[in-house]
A and B are shown apart, each in its own frame.
Chain A
Amino acid sequence: MTRPAPGTGQRPRSWFRRLYGAGPAHAVLMTAGFGFAGYLLTRILGASHPGWILLWFVGAIVLHDLVFLPLYSALDRVLTSRREVSAPQGPTWVNHVRVPAVISGVLLLVTFPLVLRLSDHAYATASGLHESVYLMRWLLVTAGLFAISGVLYLVRRDRWRRRAR
């Protein structure tokens, strides 16, 4: 039982490690973690609309890992699959599109209920104002980001050309 397992060399593998796949400390950590998580599940089941909470919990993972992430990865692959990107002559424009697009996308992600006016009634009830200003503000910020990025690209390309000459 305490004979070193072939391949691992130094460490003798106990029956526990062979059966479980890790040491006892790991098992204690998992037991404590899932024990507490089980208690939390009883709290959630006692809350109002527990089904909605669990749906959102699982839905959040599915939506991020299987929809949102593959979607933006695919968009990025389209952007970077252009030939001038893989075999660049001088500075490439790809990050001058990527950076403003990502920043603008993140800004939209954290403000989309305002930008898309999804909560205008509740917003007006609370603040006495309307969400109508946010779409234009986000578009302006996005335009500004792309403009700055574009100017930086032209400056870089110009500098590279002059150096190449």
Chain B
Amino acid sequence: MRPGEAEPTPGADESVPPDIGPRHRRATDRFRDAAAEPPPGPFRAGWWKSPVRGPWLTSYFGSILLVGIPVMFLTGLVSYASYDPRLAGNDTTPGKGILGFYLFSWVTSPSWVYRVSEGTHVILGLTLVPILLAKLWSVIPKLFEWPGMRSVAHALERLSLMLVVGGAIFEFATGIADIEYYYPWKFDFYEAHLYGAWVFIVGFVVHVCLKLPTMWRSLQRYSLHEIFGTPLARTRPEPGDGHGLVASRPSPPTISRRGVLGLVGGSAAAVFLLTAGGTVRVLRPLALLSPRARSRGTGPHPDANDFEVNRVFAATGIPVSATGDSWRLALSGPRTVSLSRAELMAMPLATEVLPIACVEGWSTVQTWTGVRLVDLARLAGVDHAVDVEVESLEKPGQPFRSATLASNQAGDFQTLLALCVNGEDISLDHGYPARMIVPAAPGVHCTKWVSELRFLT
């Protein structure tokens, strides 16, 4: 028991004998009062002035996050599964332990599934930023709640808030930094973002279990119709009800509640409109602040190869000569075969319209022409679908220089070793002489500058 505990134990009261002098009594009371009195500043109720802060507003933002955060979590889990981490060399988080319990063989159809799922993850994540900020702003007085610990339960509850608040900011911050190639840390993004997501969701589930009834009750206070019908002149603070959110001495309002919703919603809309074009084609002209969705503006117009690159050729250290006439594709299986690019071009070619979709959220659909992987498997003496290890010309140790495709991916009729895009040879930046295109796979598993296909029979 701490001094300042909300409910003093009966024993503590009895410890003061009734016959003690009035001077003594006052001294003990004064001690207790001093301990119960919050320190100055944000710990005092009068510090918080906003007349619009209150359970309704918090619950309104909370109800949006209640839908948005599970979508973020599930699309994140899907993205991890899409790497097929159970196959050799594919796992970006080998220490995951039981967190991989749900993993399944990643699908190849529909081909847009990763594009939509990961596009949702990134675009929704960015769009939720203002709503998360507003939610955190609305509950900030709770951080300075006094007394800080009323009981064991209260202390644990506050500690659990660290998981949800820390998890939320950590996940949003690392996600935003990653899509913009900004790494002011030494940890591995994949590991940290996956573990952070689980910490966040544990805190989130605990928080929802504790607060769902409060949220539901608080939302009944006003209908959206009432909120949108109330101008600034008639905006009043919410009635206080012991949540510690409503200001005890509020300033006069300078913005209505509908104004707050408009401000937060408008910020979310602005983020969405200016970034979603990296995935959503019709919004591309507006995608001014998308990290991608930019033309490189080189070469002839229209340039068949003018679409987003992930990792330019110049950054790989592969000598240009290795991609020239001396380049051979090695197939190893029951038979070992070596093929030049001209020999590949002379094989039956297939054309497929398939997306390249990056874990960073951007995606682009292009028309690819090349040899079906099933045809190459047959050449190597493989007559049934097997896992395939795809090696590139990149030096060992480079991230994603190789990837293992699962048998369902290798056996998919649409999976190509692409040689051309939009009717022209693929460019060096897009993987010349040849690259993999796998329906519904994350972009980094569509290995570029392919040198060898190992059929794992």
Contact = CB atoms under 8 A, between A and B. Distances in A.
Nearest to B126: A110
Contacts, number: 211
A73 to B, nearest CB: 8
A110 B169 CA distance: 12
Contacts of A49: 185-188
A30 B163 CA distance: 12
B140 A129 contact: no
A40 B160 contact: no
A21 B151 CA distance: 5
A58 B162 CA distance: 8
Interface stretch (B29-37, B217-225, B264-272, B319-327): B264-272
Interface stretch (B204-212, B343-351, B402-410, B449-457): B204-212
Contacts of B267: 102-103, 106-107
A91 to B, nearest CB: 9
B180 A113 contact: yes
Interface stretch (B66-74, B93-101, B377-385): B93-101
Interface string A70-88: 0001000000100001100
A164 interface: no
Contacts of B292: 127
Given A47-B195, A103-B267, A33 B170 contact: no
B371 to A, nearest CB: 27
A107 B312 contact: no
Contact of B205 (A33, A48, A114, A124): A33
A124 B315 CA distance: 9
Contacts of A122: 181-183
Which size bracket describes the interface of A in this complex? Answer: 35 or more
A109 B129 contact: yes
Contacts of A1: none
Interface string B287-325: 011011010100000000000111110010000000000
A143 interface: no
A155 interface: no
Contact of A47 (B181, B191, B210): B191
B311 A126 contact: yes
Interface residues of B, number: 80
Nearest to A58: B166
Contact of A52 (B186, B195, B254): B186
Interface in A19-56: 19-22, 26-27, 29-30, 33-34, 36-37, 39-40, 42-44, 46-50, 52-53, 56
B206 A29 contact: yes
A113 B185 CA distance: 14
A37 B161 CA distance: 12
B136 A125 contact: no
Interface stretch (B75-83, B107-115, B171-179): B171-179
Contact of B153 (A30, A37, A40): A30
Contacts of B151: 20-22
Contacts of B310: 126-127
B312 A26 contact: no
Interface string A124-164: 11111100011001101100010000000000000000000
B227 interface: no
Nearest to B259: A95
Q: Which 6 A-B pairs have the closest CB atoms?
A: A21-B151, A113-B182, A21-B153, A22-B153, A122-B181, A60-B169
19 contacts: A27-B153, A43-B96, A52-B185, A52-B187, A56-B170, A57-B166, A60-B173, A106-B129, A106-B270, A111-B180, A113-B177, A113-B181, A114-B291, A119-B182, A126-B309, A128-B429, A129-B296, A133-B294, A137-B289
Interface of B: 95-99, 126, 129-130, 133, 136-137, 140, 143, 150-154, 156-157, 159-160, 162-163, 165-167, 169-170, 173-174, 176-177, 180-188, 191-192, 195-196, 198-199, 202-203, 205-206, 209-210, 251-252, 254-255, 259, 262-263, 266-267, 270-271, 274-275, 288-289, 291-292, 294, 296, 308-312, 315, 429
